Amino acid sequence: MVSAPLSTGTPGDGKDRLRLWIRLLRASRTIEAELRERLKREFDTTLPRFDVLASLYRQQEGMLMSDLSRFLLVSNGNVTGIVDRLVSEGLVARARRNGDRRTSMVRLTDAGVSAFEKMAMAHEGWVGELLGGLGEEDTRRLAAMLKSFRSNWEERE
Amino acid sequence: MVSAPLSTGTPGDGKDRLRLWIRLLRASRTIEAELRERLKREFDTTLPRFDVLASLYRQQEGMLMSDLSRFLLVSNGNVTGIVDRLVSEGLVARARRNGDRRTSMVRLTDAGVSAFEKMAMAHEGWVGELLGGLGEEDTRRLAAMLKSFRSNWEERE
DNA sequence: CCGATAAATTTTAAGCTTGAAATAATTTCC
DNA sequence: GGAAATTATTTCAAGCTTAAAATTTATCGG
């Protein structure tokens, strides 16, 4: 996955950052794969569906398709398909709005709420387990660094 | 993307790790999306193809399909398709082996080597830019933490 | 009011991804 | 040697993903 550093490397050039990126990507893919597999096995669902349910659970009043897309960092068209499937599973409902007929408010159904709560409990446990190798101190430090990275990034677009 | 912590949270429970996981995932998706877009725009290629080329560049003697799959953390069937496309682009070649006719050695062509070298140069620069918000010290610390996380993980399977 | 522009969403085509089933070749073990 | 198990790969169906085009509805400037 992605290339090892090519440049010959005096300290401070792109090499350290490339190495960091490779490790970041491997870590997140490893965890993601494990979570995906467990969601499939235990709840017969997928990570994208879980992510949509999680977003909607945070916003009980509902979200627009474009809110979902922006929040989840995926394309508009992508969300359409995932929500379609969740609707057909009865976990989510679209409600046309009087104000603006282009948009629809997407919201969890009661079945969606209770399905998500079960999954979220297990999910939180799994993440705790999968990141168990990290001490509490490192966990918080890592989280803080990643937070500031995100903010830095967002500033510049 | 993934749920915010649900539990009410005494320090040291799963909450901190869940928060870390969410940030890790958001960071890697953000960077990944930007790299994907630039690979498309500048080189008319994709991240999975770039990843395969990068693996093969590291192992100039070639890799089995299963080596690629294991190294890239993706499924076997997935690699088949990506390599097929790279072969049809002339960047990669499959060579049947005399010893074991189930396997084939996949290797970069000359065109593949020079295409990859161009991309890798740009790629390294992009990563440097995208992670630019992090100081050198943080970069190295973060990388060290992620490395030890990976090893911890790998020990337990 | 009406045409142009913008905004929200869906559709489409191409490619990525997985997990499982199918193929093919090798190895193991009587 | 030959059946059975194992290994490497491909094929397949379903779903995820993107970027771009198309659709539908709102808004804005005459």
Residue B9 has pLDDT above 50, yes or no: no
Nearest CA in chain A to B134: A149
Q: In whole angstroms, what separates CA A80 from the centre of its chain? A: 16
Nearest CA in chain A to B12: A136
Best of B18, B46, B69 to disrupt the A interface (most A CBs within 10 Å) is: B18
How far is residue A29's CA from residue B15's CA, in Å, rounded to a whole number?
21
pTM attached to this predicted model: 0.88
- State the average pLDDT over residues A59-76: 95
- The spacing between the Cα labelled CA in A95 and the C1' in C3, in angstroms, equals 31
User: Using an 8 Å Cβ cutoff, are A6 and B120 in contact?
Assistant: yes
Nearest nucleotide to A33 (CA to C1') is C18
Residue A51 has pLDDT above 50, yes or no: yes
- The spacing between the Cα labelled CA in A103 and the C1' in D26, in angstroms, equals 11
How far is residue A92's CA from residue A83's CA, in Å, rounded to a whole number?
7
> Exposed/middle/buried for B26, CB within 10 Å: 0-12, 13-18, 19+?
buried
- State the average pLDDT over residues A98-109: 92
Q: How confident is the model at residue B146, as a pLDDT? A: 85
Share of chain A above pLDDT 90, in %: 68
- State the average pLDDT over residues A8-32: 81
One DSSP character per residue, B4-60 reads PP-S---TTSHHHHHHHHHHHHHHHHHHHHHHHHHHHHHHS--HHHHHHHHHHHH-T
Residue with CA nearest C23 C1'? Answer: B102
Strand spans (E) along chain B: 63-64, 92-96, 104-108
- State the average pLDDT over residues B79-92: 97
Residue A148 to residues A25, A84, B131, Cα–Cα distance (Å): 18, 35, 11
Best of B46, B72, B136, B153 to disrupt the A interface (most A CBs within 10 Å) is: B153
User: Using an 8 Å Cβ cutoff, are B109 and B92 in contact?
Assistant: yes
Residue with CA nearest D19 C1'? Answer: A75
Nearest nucleotide to A46 (CA to C1') is D15
Q: Residue B13: pLDDT band by 50, 70, 90 thresholds?
A: low
How far is residue B97's CA from residue B106's CA, in Å, rounded to a whole number?
10
Find the range with the poorest average confidence among B56-65, B118-127, B147-156. Answer: B147-156
Q: How confident is the model at residue B96, as a pLDDT? A: 85
Q: How confident is the model at residue A152, as a pLDDT? A: 56
How far is residue B124's CA from residue B116's CA, in Å, rounded to a whole number?
12
Sequence-distant (≥ 6) Cβ neighbours of residue B32 within 8 angstroms: A25, B47
Q: Residue A8: pLDDT band by 50, 70, 90 thresholds?
A: very low
- The spacing between the Cα labelled CA in A102 and the C1' in D29, in angstroms, equals 22
User: Using an 8 Å Cβ cutoff, are B91 and B53 in contact?
Assistant: yes
| Cβ count near B67 (within 10 Å) | 17
A78 Cα to chain B: minimum distance (Å): 14
Q: Residue B142: pLDDT band by 50, 70, 90 thresholds?
A: confident
Residue A90 to residues A77, A79, A81, A93, B30, Cα–Cα distance (Å): 20, 16, 14, 7, 31
Sequence-distant (≥ 6) Cβ neighbours of residue B61 within 8 angstroms: B105, B107
Nearest CA in chain A to B70: A1
Residue A64 has pLDDT above 50, yes or no: yes
Instruction: Check A136 against B57: CB less than 8 A apart.
Output: no
By C-alpha distance, which of A2, A9, A152 is closest to B132? A152
Residue A104 to residues A52, A79, A97, Cα–Cα distance (Å): 15, 13, 6
How far is residue A131's CA from residue B146's CA, in Å, rounded to a whole number?
11
| Cβ count near A14 (within 10 Å) | 22
Q: Mind listing the pLDDT tens digit for each residue in A79-94?
A: 999 999 999 999 999 9
Q: Residue A157: pLDDT band by 50, 70, 90 thresholds?
A: very low
Chain C positions with an atom below 7 A of a protein C-beta are: 7-13, 15-21, 24-27
Chain D positions with an atom below 7 A of a protein C-beta are: 7-13, 15-21, 24-27
Q: How confident is the model at residue A141, as a pLDDT? A: 86
| Structure token digits, residue B74 | 């993706």
How far is residue B132's CA from residue B125's CA, in Å, rounded to a whole number?
10
DSSP run (H or E) holding A105:
strand A104-108
- State the average pLDDT over residues B88-108: 92
